[in-house]
Each structure stands twice: as structure tokens, then as C-alpha cells.
Structure 1
Amino acid sequence: MTTLHHNLSLKDEIRDFWSMRSETFDTMPGHEIFSVAERQAWLALFARHLGLPPQGAKALDLASGTGVISLLLADLGYAVTGLDLSEAMLARARAKTVGKPIRLYAGDAEDTLEASDSYDAVATRHLVWTLPDPPAAFREWHRVLKPGGRVAIVDVDMTNPRPGNGKVLRLLAKLARMVSAPKPPPPYKATHDDIVSRVYFSGGCRPEEIARLLVEAGFVDVVIDRDLRAIHRAQGRFMPLHQRLERASQDRFIVSARKP
């Protein structure tokens, strides 16, 4: 049976989904930053993978959402361009980034329309798992980076448990959820699941596959880093036990690489 999508493209549906989610996005731990400890952990992570920028360096924040990562990159010293499909997300980002060296506009991460060799860094958080065509996106990011520029991809595989004790943690999360006050699934879950079933990483966003595609796009010095513990500890202080366990069971990572 064919699912009807009312003549919307998948990107249209993704845009509309995140526009709807924009109303509550910044209320959720793991989206907005709620503590100094978490902010410092994010800054350290990006500094580790992008390096400290020289004066005048420019960064492109793709799927910039409400501006959380754009603000971090600006704090590191970059002049930031944030790009997002959703005008609703961008409206919230503009309100948060007044007075910062951040330019925001609506656009497509797979076709940025930015000039070639124009950015020192490209950063994303929780974008790649939603992309219809990651190979095209990675070629585009390679194009807009200057030689020597770096890309940093923060993402999560919510389908496959993390290597090691992920399966055990997933089971513990289910048990913890059962004994906590049960809540119905959010009203947007069916839409979310339908979109996920049609993206490139529908079977799970594996960092090893991201790394392979980055190499195909021309990147070198690819690094997979799963050590996001400082960020997760800080976020966990604002989460119930079952959510902390569930997130700990997921494969959360950053993949970085360099344009030669």
C-alpha cells in the first residue's frame, strides 16, 4: 500500500515537522543548553575537533535550528552563518542571537548556495540522520570549505544500541520507564517515524558509514569520537532516569574530517 504525502517532498515534510517542533524545542534537555557545565563541555568538544579559529575565521552551522550551535561557534571566535529549512526555527534563533556575529537564513544543507572555498569550518548537530542524500550533502560541504577547513558532525544512531553495553542499557531504560509514571507517545511520533523510514539512514545513523561517505566526498583525517560523556552528564541532571538510560544506550558521537 502506497503512503500518500499530499505532493510534499520529503524535505518539505522535514521542514514542516521541525517548524511544528520549534514551539517546544528549547524546553528540552539535549536541545537547548541548561547549565554552564554543558556549555563548557560543548565548547571543549568543538575546540577539540575544529581547533581554535584564527582571526576572521568563518563557520557554517547547518540545520542551525534555534541557534544553539551557532552561539557556541560564535563564542569560540567564528563569524557564523546559520542555515535552516524552517523559518519558525530561524525566528527563534534570531531572537537569541541579537548582537552576535551570526547571520541566519533559510536554506538547504544539501545545496547551500554559498561560495566555494569560503568557510573554515562546517558544523552540524543532529542533521545527518535526517538527510535524504548525505553523499550529495558531504560533497557540498567539501565544496564550501577552504582547503584545510574542517567539518564536525554531531549525531546519534537511535536505532542500533551503542557498542559495548548499549543493549543492557536499553533494557534497563525500558524497565525504568515501566515503573515511572507512564506517558502517552507524543502526538508527533507517527509523523517522525514515517519521515525516518524514508531518509538515507532509515536503518540507523552509523558513524562508520558517515566516515566512509566523507572519504568518498574527498575528506581526509576522518575521526570518530564517542567520548561525549561530559555533555551527557551535564544534560542528565535535567532528565528522568529512564531518559538518561535510554540516551546512554544510543550510539552518540562526533565525526570530524579535513578538506585537503
Structure 2
Amino acid sequence: MSDADTLSNFDLREEIKEYWGKRAETFDTQPGHEIFSDEEHTAWIRLFEKHLGPGGSRRVLDLASGTGVISHLLDDLGFEVTGMDWAEPMLAKAREKARKRGRTIRFLLGDAERTMEASESYDAITCRHLVWTLVDPAAAFAEWHRVLKPGGQLLVVDGDFVNPGWFAKLLATFSKTRARFGLLAQPEAKPADMMETHRSILSRVHFSRGARAEAVVDLLRQAGFTQIVVDTDLKAVHRAQRRHLPFFKGLERATQHRYAICARK
């Protein structure tokens, strides 16, 4: 790797860190980030329990823990939870949630690609919507393999947020037709700088063309993971989230390539 490549990666990683720090302010207001109903909470609990089983005081590292949404789910399942994120504003919100709930969840400032945690120190590792942002997923997966105990489990919840599903394609065609006849409503205004930052980051991460499950699985195998299972049945989660999304947005989300991947060391 050249010095230029190293500098480029450092710059990108710092941009990602800054971006998510800014997103912390509104993170919990968005469906798909925070959980807004008992129905969705139950759906997530069942998904995690399906692949990881009950916590039983096992140690779990929740990477890119953000405001602690998944960390609290894991705590509800009985795990001894460490949440790690590299955006301090996210961690501040996560710690406040734990304080209000009276929970003793450990939240650390750290990098998911270089955790600095001891080898073979966790029974499980989880991450939601992290893999698609990784600069070097091969190195990250090797790091996670190192940190897990023998027999430990990894659960990745992620998706391809680049390539539109069939419904999004249909909706785009419909929108073009409406626009041609002057029938298209004005799109909702969004902060232009944040949208541009998101596009710029996405164009430079490893999965810039979309984090397809098969590509993630291939890298996990290369890192030494075995017994890899891809679960695309997230219907219960999507159904609960749709109640808090605009109608078409909910359908679009349900037809995206989203998945849970469970693997073992």
C-alpha cells in the first residue's frame, strides 16, 4: 500500500466518523434506527435470539453501536454488553439511555476495524448497518475473528443500500412518467451538505457498488469464519417499521436486499 493510499483511507475514515457524529442529533428520530413499537422490539429480539440464542451472561461486543439501540436489545436478552462506536455524540446518547433505564451497559469509544480489545475475549459480536460503510472489510473481519473466543458467533445485519430493489425501480419509472406530465410533487427538502457527504463517502468505501450478502460471506470465509448462514427473512422487522414510514417508503424498504448473516469462529 502506498503512502497516498494510506492517507486516502485515513481521510475517508475521519470523514465517516465526523458524518456519524453529526447524524447523532437526529438518529433516534428515524425508523430503522430507533425502535418505535413493542412489535418491532419483539421482531428484533426474535431475530437475535434465533441466531445467537439467549444471552446467559455471555459477553457480546456490539460494534458501531450508535445510540445503543441494539446494545439495549442484547441487554434485554441477558448478554453482558459492550457497545463500541467511534462517534462520541452517539455514545453520549447511548449512555444516557442506559442511565435512564438503570442498565450497566459498557460503552467505549473505539474503531470497529481496530477494536484494541483482547484476543478471544468475547462470546459474540454483533453489528447492524456497519459493514456497508467499512473501508477495509477484510481487515475488519480478521479483527473480529481475533477478538472472538473459539466457537464464538458473529451476527451481521446489513443490506445493499446502493442497488434498488424491484419496487424502487418500479417507483422510479412511475415518478418519471408523472414528471413528464408535470404531476410530480416537490421532493421533501433534505440538508444538501449531508446528502452530498453521504454520497461522497458511499462512493469510496469498499462496498461502493452495494454490500451483497454473497460478497460479505466470501470475505468472512477468507477471515476464517465457518458455519455461515444467510437469513433474508426480516419480514417481521420490516412489517413493524412500515407503520412508522410513508407507505411507498415502507414497501421500498421491504423489497431491498437486506439480510442477517450468522457465522462462527
1:59 maps to amino acid: V
Compute the displacement of 1:224 (Å).
0.8
SS in 2 for 1:52: coil
1:152 offset after TM fit, Å? 0.4
Larger CA Rg, structure 1 vs 2: 2
Q: Which residue of 1 aligns with 2:72?
A: 71
Give the match for residue 138 of structure 2.
135
Aligned partner letter, 1:43? I
In the alignment, which residue of structure 2 is the partner of 1:108?
111
Q: How does 1:1-260 map to 2 (within 5 A)?
A: 9-54=11-56, 56-98=57-99, 99-161=102-164, 166-172=165-171, 175=174, 182-187=187-192, 188-259=194-265
Provide the C-alpha distance between the structure 2 equivalents of 1:34 and 1:112, rounded to a whole number of angstroms: 30
The one-letter code sitting in structure 1 at the alignment partner of 2:166 is K
5+ long unaligned stretches in structure 2: 1-6, 179-183
**Per-residue CA shift, 1:114-151, capped at 9, x if unaligned?**
11111111000000000000000000111111111100
Q: 1:215 to 1:7 in 2, by over 3 A?
A: closer
Shift of 1:36: 0.3
Q: Secondary structure at the match of 1:48?
A: helix
Quick one: percent identity of the two aligned structures?
A: 55
The TM-score, its normalising length taken from structure 2, stands at 0.89
The whole-number CA distance in structure 1 between the counterparts of 2:175 and 2:79 is 42
User: CA-atom RMSD, angstroms?
Assistant: 2.0
Question: Quick one: distance in 2 between partners of 1:16 and 1:113?
Answer: 21
Counterparts of 1:7 and 1:48, CA distance in 2 = 36
What secondary structure does 2:159 align onto?
strand
Give the Å deviation of 1:250: 1.4
Paired residues in the alignment total 250
Change over 3 Å in CA distance of 1:95–1:173 after alignment to 2:
farther
Partner secondary structure for residue 153 of structure 1: strand
Name the SS of the counterpart of 2:161 in structure 1: strand
Secondary structure of residue in 2 paired with 1:115: coil
1:70-118 residue CA offsets vs partner (Å, 9 max, x unmatched): 0001111111111101001101111011221310011000110111111
Q: Is the 8 A contact 2:167 2:251 kept in 1?
A: no
Instruction: State the Cα deviation string for residues 214-235 of structure 1 (Å, max 9, x = none).
Output: 1110110101111000000000
The answer as to whether partners of 1:172 and 1:245 remain within 8 angstroms in 2 is no
TM-score, normalising length: structure 1: 0.91
Stretches of 4+ aligned residues off by more than 4 angstroms: 5-8, 176-181
After superposition, give the CA deviation of every residue in 1:183-228 in whole Å (9 maximum; x if it has no partner). Answer: 1344311100000000000010101111111111011010111100
Richer in helix (by share): 2
CA distance in structure 1 between the aligned counterparts of 2:8 and 2:238, rounded to whole angstroms:
39
1:216 and 1:8 mapped to 2: Cα distance? Answer: 24
Gaps of 5+ in 1: none
On the 8 A contact 1:173/1:245 being kept in 2, the answer is no
Flag the 1:44–1:173 CA change in 2: closer, same or farther, 3 A: farther
Distance 2:82 2:172 in 1: 38
